A and B are shown apart, each in its own frame.
Chain A
């Protein structure tokens, strides 16, 4: 990653502990105002857990000075009350902190699978060509810096570019890069398209129909969207609109009239399963929380949506934030917690003020804070911002990150339900999971369970991206088939192309072939077909997709995102990437295919968390289904890269 001490990676004499010297920078102290802002934020954590606010302190410092110099690290350590080494290990872990001075605009180009399928690699090239610099460098005028990013969670608007950690430009075609740079030079951030989900005050033509096409699933023809019904209604995210049109906070009222155990019973009866990837029954998870413990309990909402191909939680938080707030409150009530923390991935900075507004509005109406609705139930909802780490999506790594440490997984057992955040019993739930909880309360567990196939109840958000006509987020019960999602909802493959394969649940799950798609998109059915529903991130691959290139792209992602804690993953992802890269460069031999398979097999199931399995999957599944493509690379008979969308589609120079 470019802003980390640049490593002459792969060159002779390189070692992981060699680092470029980092700038000391000018003397640094927080301005009085920034310090006050920080202290206000730090009050969200117990005084003894002040370190939890370290990421926030670093963001504030970066806002003040533009980058994190050594003096910044020292000052932050002083403010937090820990050693510099303790802050440095955090700064150097997360990718959103610039370690060197950067240009006025940092162009952060997503190059992970869905964006790469749409030509993101060409976008980087076009920007490099236009600015005369390489990715990771700043142009001589100090105006632009190019940074290559891993999945930004906007796969339906690929290729996507984030600017300065906050602003978005969607659908950036390689040939439009030059014009965008010129326009930004004169107009600044106004030149950017912005996030299409921010629809307020914008003409309808700019956002209408850009994502989520309402289609009725064949199995449930009278299905009406509940989670996303008002997603594209201007003002639909407001408190008043939520209360009036979505029976807002009625679920909370209903829950407060019940005992916490009865709430858990209801959630269990509904069959609600975790939407983050594992599909674990939510009611059961809540039941496991150690209620007898004298320690405080917590709900931690996992909004670190970063599995390549997933972009559903982003939409929910931006367009229906009160549903999440209400879900958090009901969850807290059920497990006997007084505080929920929503951990939002660093790349979704624009969601931070939006969610905060929702929480504040709910507080004004008496739904958050002390003695909610006179029931004696106190509850706070806090936001916590991550800083760029896929691994933080793993529940124990997320808890570590919440505690202001490196996002590295913990050993389980003990599970978070016994020892979670700050050693206290904790339930970690995905955004979409918590958004479904108010529905279970208002519409009833029976309604919820009846929507989908057995044990797969409720509405589900499906993200379809890749080589389809209308990529987007679609809400449907899990009776909908994968085929319907790809062909009816997302419009099917592009004209003149056929579907080659489908990744049904985010980049970490095995690939399915086109003839396996006529199955309900439910947790159990997809598993029976030999894959996993995961985060329901469906990535369609058409006949132009080179599977070796695909594995190479994903291993670049996994190698970059591995936390580095346990041996098989730290060293193994590096080896897999190296071998694949050699293959792409035409230097591989027959032996390499065997080595690739053996290394991937040997990471699988041998690591501390599931990351190792996830990293091995793209290699194992492509080797299993598309071995001839690997062989073609070894014999030098692979089709010319020009035929490949990911390699070259658009002439840029």
Chain B
């Protein structure tokens, strides 16, 4: 590179302050969901439309701050005239669409997805999933009943990976939603410390060559923990309290504050139990953080507890 390319030069001052570009006027798309008419801006998804109508569509691998990967198939809805069910998180609205968010086909599909996941994955710490299982009548045990012994079940609990002080990885609880991979990659952190390895039923989340976290590219931002929907990735204090049977979210005081470290001023949500900070998160709808934090904000609270 030539020196003049690296030397810092101010851009020439603008002759006039440019006018603010006009707000784009979105084209509105009319569609019908569960018999109710709604108009949505072009480019929005069926899930957005459902939210506008206060219709609940369950999701697992979807998060508003991440690019949808369409992996879990929990949010599928029925689009009239389409051969296959459409994932609400990705399918964009089209004019005249007629959508059903609950139909025998949709319910069956959701039930089966939950059963298949439940048959191989420990979903005990996944918030909301137990209720979802009840709602859709999912009975993962029906596979087990049929096959008899536990040895014929593919996926069983494995030892929790504890290789650092900040968080643990319990892949026996992983539903392969790809959220952590996305948060570590292009959707937030751009660290690319974790990826999916293997394929088919052997696909799994892994660090590079399966090395322990301290040897990997991980920077301990903990943004993967923030997005994990099942508790497969868990900060150490929460994990230890859960192990001791002392994790009581209902007794926790949840307070928003500002991170004390640098000048960015991220919003921290501090979870306090028995006068101790037990967890730090950040709101996903916060304009500054979009739910993301760095190692200091997420894990650097020990000095308060001491």
Contact = CB atoms under 8 A, between A and B. Distances in A.
A563 B198 CA distance: 9
Contacts of B69: 565
Nearest to A595: B146
Given A19-B210, A89-B197, A567-B73, A12 B202 contact: no
A606 interface: yes
A359 B174 CA distance: 47
A606 B74 CA distance: 10
A297 to B, nearest CB: 23
B82 to A, nearest CB: 10
Interface stretch (B34-42, B110-118, B251-259, B274-282): B110-118
Interface in B69-123: 69-74, 76, 83-85, 87, 90-92, 108-109, 112-113, 116-117, 119-120
Q: Interface residues of B toward A: which range? A: 35 or more
Contact of B158 (A15, A84, A568, A574): A15
Contacts, number: 190
A496 interface: no
Given A17-B158, A606-B73, A575 B119 contact: yes
A591 interface: yes
A568 B205 contact: no
Contacts of B192: 82-83, 85-86
A487 B176 CA distance: 48
B72 A85 contact: no
Given A4-B198, A565-B71, A83 B208 contact: yes
A16 B193 contact: no
B147 interface: yes
B68 interface: yes
A595 B145 CA distance: 11
Given A93-B198, A568-B112, A15 B119 contact: no
Contacts of B71: 565-567, 608
A52 interface: no
A516 B192 CA distance: 54
A148 interface: no
Interface stretch (A253-261, A274-282, A554-562): A554-562
B119 A566 contact: no
A16 B146 contact: no
Contact of B206 (A17, A413, A564, A599): A17
A450 interface: no
B83 A88 contact: no
Contacts of A15: 155-158, 171-172
B198 A16 contact: yes
A589 interface: yes
Contact of B195 (A11, A85, A570): A85
A406 interface: yes
A606 B76 contact: yes
A97 to B, nearest CB: 12
Contact of A571 (B74, B157, B201): B201
Contact of B84 (A73, A564, A606): A606
Nearest to B198: A92
A16 B147 contact: no
A85 B116 contact: no
Contact of B151 (A10, A18, A89, A575): A10
A582 B152 contact: yes
25 contacts: A4-B198, A5-B198, A10-B154, A12-B150, A17-B171, A70-B209, A84-B209, A85-B206, A85-B207, A85-B209, A86-B195, A89-B197, A92-B206, A389-B199, A564-B203, A565-B176, A565-B178, A567-B74, A570-B200, A571-B117, A574-B120, A574-B200, A574-B201, A579-B146, A606-B76
Interface of B: 68-74, 76, 83-85, 87, 90-92, 108-109, 112-113, 116-117, 119-120, 142-143, 145-147, 150-152, 154-158, 171-172, 174-176, 178, 191-210, 216-217
4 interchain residue pairs of minimum CB distance: A564-B203, A84-B208, A89-B195, A571-B116
